[in-house]
């Protein structure tokens, strides 16, 4: 599955590159090259991960779920029924946290684009920056963008931690 996913993503990256090159001059005025590079590299990496890792994880989890339900039914139908009572609560929690994580993930991708854009502009004009002795200002500007990315990533990690610990707590408490 991974080989197929990687092949699809390699073709997708080439197609995106081809489409970017054939855009009008208005497009090139609107979008900075750093943002486009970030989109080409980072966004396609996220899609690659979704196609390869997440699909295989989903298949494995589905199979494990059916096997687990079968084993629980074999052991105790009544206990399995009680477990299914909590299922809607867990689905609701998953939907709420899933939407939040998706929003934060998009913000992280946007911030990665901003970070790439800033560094690309800085590297493109490094001689001008040095001639005006502005290195510290530019480093601080880059550091500010890195801090935004760091804060978003930490927030995403907290959301994931709250989700998994909350689901585990609810599941264990219900038993």
Quick one: pLDDT band at residue 117, thresholds 50, 70, 90? confident
Average pLDDT rounded to a whole number, residues 1-28: 77
Quick one: pLDDT band at residue 77, thresholds 50, 70, 90? very high
Q: Which of 105, 103, 116 is nearest to 31 (CA)?
A: 116
Cβ atoms 35, 116 nearer than 8 A: yes
Q: Would you state the pLDDT for residue 66?
A: 92
Angle at alpha carbon of residue 107, lines to 154 and 36, rounded to 5°: 125
pLDDT tens digit sequence for 48-63:
777 666 777 778 888 9
Q: Which of 48, 41, 60 is nearest to 3 (CA)?
A: 48
Max CA separation in the chain (angstroms): 77
Cβ atoms 146, 123 nearer than 8 A: no
d(CA 28, CA 132): 28
Tokens of 69: 């339900």
- pTM for this prediction: 0.68
Tokens of 155: 């927030």
Residue 36, burial from CB neighbour count under 10 angstroms (0-12, 13-18, 19+): buried
With H, G, I as helix, E, B as strand and everything else as coil, classify residue 32: coil
The percent of residues above 90 in pLDDT, for the chain, comes to 20
């Amino acid at each position: 599955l991974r080989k197929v996913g990687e092949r699809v993503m390699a073709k997708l990256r080439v197609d995106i590159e081809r489409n970017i090159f054939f855009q009008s001059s208005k497009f090139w005025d609107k979008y900075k090259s750093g943002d486009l590079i970030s989109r080409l590299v980072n966004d396609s990496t996220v899609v690659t991960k979704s196609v390869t890792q997440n699909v295989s994880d989903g298949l494995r989890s589905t199979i494990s779920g059916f096997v687990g339900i079968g084993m629980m039914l074999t052991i105790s139908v009544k206990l399995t029924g009680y477990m299914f009572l909590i299922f809607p609560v867990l689905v609701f929690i998953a939907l709420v946290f899933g939407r939040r994580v998706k929003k934060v993930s998009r913000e992280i991708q946007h911030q990665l684009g901003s970070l790439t854009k800033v560094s690309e502009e800085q590297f493109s004009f490094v001689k001008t920056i040095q001639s005006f002795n502005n290195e510290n200002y530019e480093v601080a500007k880059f550091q500010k963008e890195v801090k935004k990315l760091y804060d978003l990533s930490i927030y995403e990690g907290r959301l994931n931690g709250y989700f998994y610990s909350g689901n585990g707590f609810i599941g264990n408490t219900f038993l």
